[in-house]
Chains A and B, each alone.
Chain A
Amino acid sequence: MTTADTTGPAAGKRRLRRPKGLTAHILLMLAVVISVFPFLWTIIMATNTTQDIYKSPPKFTFGSHLLENIRHVLNTIDFFGSMLNTVVVACVTTVLVLFVDSLAAFAFAKFDFPGRKVLFGTLLLFMMLPLQLAVLPQFILMSKIGWVGTLQALVPPALANAFGIFWLRQYIENGVPDELLDAARIDGAGFFRQYWNIALPMIRPALSFLAIYAFVGAWNDYVWPLIVLTNPAHVTLQVELAQLNVGHTTDYSMVMAGVLMAALPLVIVFAVFARGFIAGATEGAVQGT
């Protein structure tokens, strides 16, 4: 995670009440090593040959076989095909989540329509239920409408997640001043104009957090694609990766090259947006209801 270095000192707030704790830094660095080591070791395994990894003591340095291992991955599985599937699903899911959730959240945050409390309460209640309660009927439903094995089957269950509404409502309630909406109303702006021209531009930070949240979630999702994508030739990256692992245990370096290739795009996305994302995750979690 060398990309993260640049953001380091900027976050340090000037606090004079404590001496710089050397012990604290040592312990934190130790935790960082544990946290980052798997990425490093994956790269080491992916750049060496399997024989080098199997050696005892194992090789601890980067090798020069990365391209060869990547070629093996590409020959064994349809890596780019499944990655394209994942990208398409993740993008479609993210865009729809942003639109559908922000629209509903705006209505919930700023308008007191009849039934609002009951409707929102139902969402909160269902957010607490384990997703697996719904998985089996979801699958039956998908097979009824003939979507089993297709990519579009991945989208609706992700959209049915109420987290985005819950989170955006919180943000809109406090982040979009009522005075502004009133002024717009006086100028003749209707509900949808207020949403599109006033609320949306003001909640951009919240939307960007939700976008990353939804994208990462869709990218990493494994259980539902495993269940519903019944055609092994037409799956997402995570399922393909799991398939690569099965039956190729003798070729670790290749499997690890696959892991690296599958994990890298997301780590980059995260590294770019990390600061805002972590701030957002904290807010959503701590502010609560």
Chain B
Amino acid sequence: MSSPPVTGPAAVPEHRGGPGPARFRPRRAVPAGHARPRRRGPLSYWRQYLAISPFYLIFIAFSFFPVFYSLYLAFQRWDGLGDMQFVGLQQFKFLWSDPVFWLSIRNTLVIWVLSTVPTLFGALVLATLLHSVRRFKGFYRIALYVPNVTSIVAVAIFFGAVFSNNFGLVNAILGTVGISPVPWLSNPWLIKVVIALLMTWMWTGYNMIIYLAGLQAIPTSIYEAAKMDGAGPVRTFFQITVPIMRPIILFTVVISTINGLQSFSEPQVLFANNAANANLGGPGQAGLTTLLYFYQSAFLNNDYGYGAAIVWAFFVLIIVLVAVNWRITQRGRKA
């Protein structure tokens, strides 16, 4: 599913097919023409508070409070049934020396890099191509977006079948040209490659649509000038398209970081068959992502305190990575 936007880039592109009146007026804190004669007490706004209350009641109960409660849990030892026991930083100390946790972090990062880089690059190339053609635009957009609305479970089952070591389509095709079967789902690196391929397949179209909207906002005169100066399509792409699109690229990098690091369903479904170690990320735990490890600790081992510690440590990691990404992209702008 398309992810919620987090921040918006500066450029506001032209929209195609988007209904509704002008939406690009500069936003004001107070909408113009809105009569708001005098400051009134909060109570006179009871209707507005009533209007937002259904959402906020649910939000507080199921989002706001749980986030802090899980931080509280990270300092406890609890199996969900008996009494909670305060253990201070013990969970985090254990986490620090837990090789499986670090393995899961490594797996997550490798899968994230292997999927994000081709996804974003491919999306940018496809968006550029799509922007340049005149015909069949609508068809391309829909056909390339459709992977993103397919359920992860269905996609993971499909990839499991196609990359199956013994009977998969990929190995069967390789077999017909005389290449011996490749152990896609048992080699630690190939496992990550398959998961990354799956994510790339699902997310390229989504990012392409975002890039396309950005491209449509770039004035065509810039491209005409470049063409007159004799720049070829590749040069134009790297020296004009990429720099102008930087804010939108940054946006997609942040979104992909948040989404890509949360891979869970893909390895969970892919290796659920593995009777010996279901939910452990397959052979050698090579597909064990951090969230899968969290799921296993919290919901299969009923170690709530440790599970909470895993997600919070992981959250800190995401923040660090987003900050690093941000810095890199910002520095690139100055250079």
Contacts and interface: CB of A to CB of B under 8 A. Distances in A.
Contacts of A188: none
A134 B291 CA distance: 13
B70 A136 contact: yes
Contact of A24 (B133, B141, B160, B172): B133
B308 interface: yes
Interface string B39-68: 000100101110110111011011111110
- Classify the secondary structure of B's interface with A: helix
A286 B161 contact: no
B69 A137 contact: yes
A287 to B, nearest CB: 6
In this complex, which of A223, A246, A282 has the most chain B Cβ atoms within 10 angstroms of its Cβ? Answer: A282
Interface residues of B, number: 128
Contact of A138 (B66, B130, B139, B307): B66
Interface string B249-265: 00100000010011011
Contact of A130 (B16, B36, B167, B258): B258
B15 A136 contact: no
Interface in A12-29: 12-15, 17-18, 20-21, 24-25, 27-28
Interface in B106-158: 122, 126, 129-130, 132-147, 149-155, 157-158
A106 B51 contact: yes
- Classify the secondary structure of A's interface with B: helix
Interface stretch (A62-70, A72-80, A171-179): A171-179
B197 to A, nearest CB: 10
Contacts of A278: 141-142, 145, 209
Interface in A65-121: 99-101, 103-104, 106-108, 110-115, 119
A252 B161 contact: yes
B272 interface: yes
Contacts of B237: none
Given A13-B134, A137-B73, A278-B142, A222 B5 contact: no
B151 to A, nearest CB: 4
A42 B155 CA distance: 10
A159 B265 contact: no
Interface string B59-102: 10111111101100100000010000000000000000000000
Interface in A25-71: 25, 27-28, 31-32, 34-36, 38-39, 41-42, 45, 53-58
A136 B304 contact: yes
Given A133-B311, A246-B273, A7 B139 contact: yes
B12 A286 contact: yes
B52 A132 contact: no
A233 interface: no
A20 B134 CA distance: 7
Given A141-B61, A227-B299, A288-B8, A103 B52 contact: yes
A267 interface: yes
B262 A132 contact: yes
Given A1-B142, A111-B48, A178-B34, 15 more contacts: A1-B143, A24-B129, A24-B133, A31-B140, A36-B143, A56-B172, A159-B55, A174-B25, A222-B269, A242-B157, A245-B160, A271-B142, A274-B145, A276-B19, A279-B17
